[in-house]
Structure 1
C-alpha cells in the first residue's frame, strides 16, 4: 500500500510539472498580447521641413516628451496630483485626478513637456507615471507667414494652410500606418521669399494700426511664373500657439479670429481696381483703342439709379483719361459696347468669377448676380455688385501686364519652364501692352503717384469702395485697395494691397490714394532691391543710377 501511494504521488507531481512546462512553452511561442493602450499608440509622426525659396527654414519638427499615466498602477492619486502640480503649474487638478482614478490602462496627462519638466518629474519617482516621445511643430518666424503655413494639432496633423495641403498629398495616410516615424523627409520648398514676406507683414500691420483700420493685407506675385512671393493678412496669429487660453481657462475667441485669411478666403467688392479689367476688355474686344473718346459729360440713369463720377470732368474723355480720372460713366459705356454676355465671359476667362485653383486650402468662391442684367453689368464694370478675393484679383492683373497670359498661381517654387503648362493666353498682346501704358501713366500722373518709388516705376490703379455692412453700403466706411505692378518698363511683379475700414490715412484722408497706395510704396521700396530689381532712371542717366 505504501509503495502504491508513493507511486500515485510521484505520478501526480509529474503530471503537474509536465502541465506547467507545456504551458510555459505555449506562452513562449505565443504572440504577445497588448496589455494596455500604450503599445497601441503609433510612433510619433514626423513632418517634412518647410523652407522658403532661398532655403530659409519656415517650419520644422522638435523632439518632445509627453506625460502619461497607467491608472491601474497608481496607488495614491491625491499624492500624484499634488507632486505633479509642483512641476506643472497649469495642471488641471480636477481633470488629472479623474484620469488617475479611472479604471483604464492609459491616460494622457500633459502633452509636449519641456526637458526640465521631464527631469523634475522623473526625480519625483512616481510609480505608474511614464513618458512617450512625440513631435512638436515649430515655426521660427512666428506669425510672419501664418496664413500661408497654417498650423497643426497636438498630434502633428495639418489643420490649415500649406500644412494641410501637405497632409492631403499623402502624408496623412503615411502617418496613419506609422510610416513617418524618424524617417527623414524631403523638405517642401515654397515660393515664398521670407525677407519679402517679413516686409509685407510689417507694412500692413503698421498701416492697420496707423490708419485705425479693421484689417489689412497685401500680396506680391511673379507675373511670369505665377509664384506667390509674399502674402499676408492682419489680424493674424502665431502658429506656434494657434489657440490661446484666457486666465479663466476659456479659449480666447478674439485671438482665433486671426486665423481668417482675408487675402484668399474672403471676397470683397474691389472698387475701381476692377475698371482695369473693364478697360482691358474693351481693348481686347477691339471696341476701343487708346485714342478712343468716351462721352462722360452726363450721368447715366438706369433701373431707378443714377450713375455719376466721383470727381467728374463733365466732358468726353480719352481712354487714358478714363483710367486716370476713374470715370464710372465712361467705364459703364465701355462695358455696354461689349455687351452683357461678353462682359461676363471676359471676367470668367480671367478667373475672376470662379474659385481660384491653387495649393492653399483656404480659398473663397467669388459671388456674382444669379442673372446678369444691364444694371448688373453696369455696376460690375466699376467694381460693385461682384465680389472676388484680393489674391485672384492680383492673379488676373498679372495677365494684364505679362503679355496676356493667365498663370495658375502657386505657393510652391517653380521656374518659367514649369509654369508654361499652367499658362493660358486670355488677352491679346496688344491689349496687354496698352494696359502696361495705362498703369504706367496713372502711376506717373494719376492716383498711382502715391505708390511710385523713384527708379522702380510702380504703376497701377487705386480702388475706393463703400464698405458693405450687413448687406448694405456704409456711407462712412471704405474698403480701399491698390492694384499695381513694377517695374513698369519691364513688369516682373504684381502687387496688391487692401485696407478695410480705415478711419484715417496720409494727410488725414482715408481714400485709397492715402492708405492702400502708400502701403505699396513702402513694400516696393524695401523689397525691390532684395528681389534683384535694378533701379532705372531712363536712357543716358547712369549717373543718377550710381547716385541712387
Structure 2
C-alpha cells in the first residue's frame, strides 16, 4: 500500500505570507514521489478528455451551422461537392416599364439523397411517395438502390413538403438550398419573358436572351412592355379567337417614336411555371410566338409599303390614274380584285378600295429591283432585330422576277413576321425614320437608332391614305371615337407545305393612332377565323381584325395619355384631307373626299 504522509506547516487564507496576520502556521501538504506521479497522470488524462469533448462538440456545432445555412449538409465529401455543383446563381428580377414585377426568384429547398446511407430503400420509397405522390416509385427505388452518392429526389419543394419530409427522419436524405423562378403575372407575358429551368438557366424569351446578364447583375431588367396594355391586348385577342373559332391570334402595340414594344401577346399561351413540351404542329403549340417566330404572307397590309415605295420613287403621284377595269394576266396566273370597281383609279382609290390590280400597276412603275431594294431597306430580307431568340426568317423569292414583284405588291409571295411589319409601319407613319423594334426601355431618347426609309412628305401622304381606309374604306370598324385610327386591313390565304390551304387564312389589321400626329402603331392578326352570322359569313380583316383593333384602342388610349380629338374639327379635317379642302362656295363634289363616310357594304374586301 502506498503511504502518503501529510504535515501541516502553514496555511495562508489571504494569499500573503506563510504566516498570516494571526500568526498561525500555513497548512502544507507533503506528497511522496510515487503519489505525485499518479496525480500528474490523472491531470494529463483530464486534459485529453476535455480536448476530445471540445473537438466533438465543435464538430456538432459546425454541422448545426451547416444545416442552418444550407438546409442540411451531405455526410460525405463527394455528396457535398455534387450538391455544390448544382447550387444555382441568383437571377435578377425582370420588371415592366413601370416597375411591375414580371419575374423574380424565391429561396426554396430541393431534396436529394445519398443512396449509400439509405438503410431501407423500400420504406423510404413508401414514405416519400406518400408526401410527394407525383414521384415515380419505380424510378425512385432504382435511384435509392443505385451505387451513386448523389441523386435528386425533388427540386423546389414547398415549405410544407420540406417540413413533412424532415419529420420522416430518414437517414441519407438532405436538403439543398436553391432559387426558384416565379412569374407573378402568369400567362400574361409568357412569350416575352419566357421561362427558366430547374437549374435556373433561361430557356426561352428574355430569360434565355439575357441569361448571363440576369445572373451577373443584380439590377432588375426593365422591359418596354406595359402590363396594363398586355391585359387589354390579351383579353381582346382571346375574345376574337372565341368569337371566330380561330386557332390563335397575335397583337402588338409599339411607340413609333422610339421603337419600344409596349404590348406583345400571342395566344394560345402557357403558364411559365409549368411550360408544356414543344409540339410538332406550330399553329397549335402554346409556346409558339406568332409575333416573332411566325412568318406569314401579310396580304393587303403590304399595300402600305407598296404605296410608300411608289410615291417615294417619284414615278407615281397622288393624282396619277390606273386602269383597274380588267384583271391582269401573266403566264398562267390571273390577278383580280376581290370586289372589282371596274374603273380607273387614282392612288387614294386604289388604297381605299384595296385594289390588287391598281397596286400591281403602281409597282410596275418602279420595277422588281427597286422593289427588292425597298423591302431590304424595311428589313424584310433578314431576321428582325429583337431581344428574344424566337425569331423567324423571312421567306423571299429568289430570283426576284416580275411576277414576284406583282404578287408582293399586294402581300403575296413573300412572308415576314408581324414584328417586321410593325417596325416598318412605325417608320412609315412617324415621318419616315424606322426605329428597330425593342423589348427594352429606351431611357435616352437622344440615342435612339433609326434609319430614314421615306421622306416626310411621303410619310404624310401615307398617313392620310391610312386614315381614309378607316373613314371610308375597308376598316371602318377599326375606328375608335376620338383617337383618329388609321391603317390597312389584310386577308391572306395560309401557305401549308407548298400550296395554299383551303379555308385557312390570316385576317389582320396594321395601323397607327392618332393619324394627325402618330405616336403608337398597332397590329392584330387572327389565325384561321371562321365567319359568323354577325359577319354574314365573312372572316376577312375588315370583319375580324378591324373591330378588335377598335376595341383595343378605345381602352388603351386613356392609359397612354392620348387626348381624344374631334374628328370633324376643321383643323383635323385639314390635316388629314387627301385632296385640298374646297374653297368657300365651290361645288359639293370636291367636299365628299374631306368628309368621313361610313360604308355599309364592301368591307369584306380585306
TM-score by length of 1: 0.87
Asked if structure 1 preserves the Cα contact closer than 8 Å seen for 2:484 and 2:567, the reply is no
Q: Which residue of 1 aligns with 2:6?
A: none
Find the aligned partners of 2:186 and 2:569 in 1 and give their Cα distance. 46
Q: Which residue of 2 aligns with 1:423?
A: 450
Cα deviation, residue 241, structure 1: 0.9
Cα deviation, residue 33, structure 1: 9.7
Cα deviation, residue 470, structure 1: 2.5
Cα deviation, residue 500, structure 1: 1.1
Q: Which residue of 1 aligns with 2:340?
A: 312
Find the aligned partners of 1:224 and 1:391 in 2 and give their Cα distance. 16
Q: Which residue of 1 aligns with 2:167?
A: 123
Q: Which residue of 1 aligns with 2:188?
A: 144
Q: Which residue of 1 aligns with 2:220?
A: 187
Asked if structure 1 preserves the Cα contact closer than 8 Å seen for 2:394 and 2:414, the reply is yes
Does 1:323 find its partner at 2:366?
no
Q: Which residue of 2 aligns with 1:8?
A: none
Q: Which residue of 1 aligns with 2:5?
A: none
Does 1:468 find its partner at 2:495?
yes
Find the aligned partners of 1:253 and 1:476 in 2 and give their Cα distance. 22
Q: Which residue of 2 aligns with 1:179?
A: none
- Match 2:155 to one of 103, 107, 111: 111
Q: Which residue of 1 aligns with 2:433?
A: 405
Find the aligned partners of 1:521 and 1:348 in 2 and give their Cα distance. 31
Does 1:377 find its partner at 2:405?
yes
Does 1:365 find its partner at 2:393?
yes
Q: Which residue of 2 aligns with 1:204?
A: 237
- Match 2:130 to one of 71, 77, 86: 86
Does 1:517 find its partner at 2:546?
yes
1:284-323 superposed Cα distances (whole Å, 9 cap, x missing partner): 1111122221111121111221111111111110111000
Asked if structure 2 preserves the Cα contact closer than 8 Å seen for 1:236 and 1:258, the reply is yes
Stretch deviating more after TM superposition (286-295 or 52-61): 286-295
Cα deviation, residue 418, structure 1: 4.8
Instruction: State the aligned residue count.
Output: 497
Q: Kindly tell me: are residues 514 and 372 of structure 1, through their superposed partners in 2, closer, same or farther at Cα, counting changes over 3 Å?
A: same
Asked if structure 1 preserves the Cα contact closer than 8 Å seen for 2:250 and 2:290, the reply is yes
Find the aligned partners of 1:151 and 1:379 in 2 and give their Cα distance. 40
Q: Which residue of 1 aligns with 2:417?
A: 389
Find the aligned partners of 1:128 and 1:483 in 2 and give their Cα distance. 61
What are structure 1's unaligned runs of at least 5 residues? Answer: 1-23, 25-31, 175-183, 245-250, 543-548
Asked if structure 2 preserves the Cα contact closer than 8 Å seen for 1:462 and 1:512, the reply is yes
Q: Which residue of 1 aligns with 2:556?
A: 527
Find the aligned partners of 2:546 and 2:294 in 1 and give their Cα distance. 21
Asked if structure 2 preserves the Cα contact closer than 8 Å seen for 1:225 and 1:416, the reply is no
Larger relative contact order (Cα-Cα within 8 Å, sequence gap ≥ 6): 1
Find the aligned partners of 2:285 and 2:485 in 1 and give their Cα distance. 33
Cα deviation, residue 89, structure 1: 1.4
Q: Which residue of 2 aligns with 1:490?
A: 517
Q: Which residue of 2 aligns with 1:96?
A: 140
Asked if structure 1 preserves the Cα contact closer than 8 Å seen for 2:276 and 2:286, the reply is no
Q: Which residue of 1 aligns with 2:254?
A: 221
**Secondary structure of 2:138 counterpart:** helix
**Secondary structure of 2:97 counterpart:** coil
Q: Which residue of 2 aligns with 1:355?
A: 383
Instruction: Give the number of the structure whose alpha-carbon radius of gyration is greater.
Output: 2
Q: Kindly tell me: are residues 101 and 254 of structure 1, through their superposed partners in 2, closer, same or farther at Cα, counting changes over 3 Å?
A: farther
Asked if structure 2 preserves the Cα contact closer than 8 Å seen for 1:325 and 1:446, the reply is yes
Cα deviation, residue 35, structure 1: 3.2
Q: Kindly tell me: are residues 378 and 64 of structure 1, through their superposed partners in 2, closer, same or farther at Cα, counting changes over 3 Å?
A: same
Find the aligned partners of 2:389 and 2:101 in 1 and give their Cα distance. 22
Find the aligned partners of 2:328 and 2:141 in 1 and give their Cα distance. 74
What RMSD over aligned residues (CA atoms) do the two structures have, in Å? Answer: 2.4
Cα deviation, residue 415, structure 1: 4.0
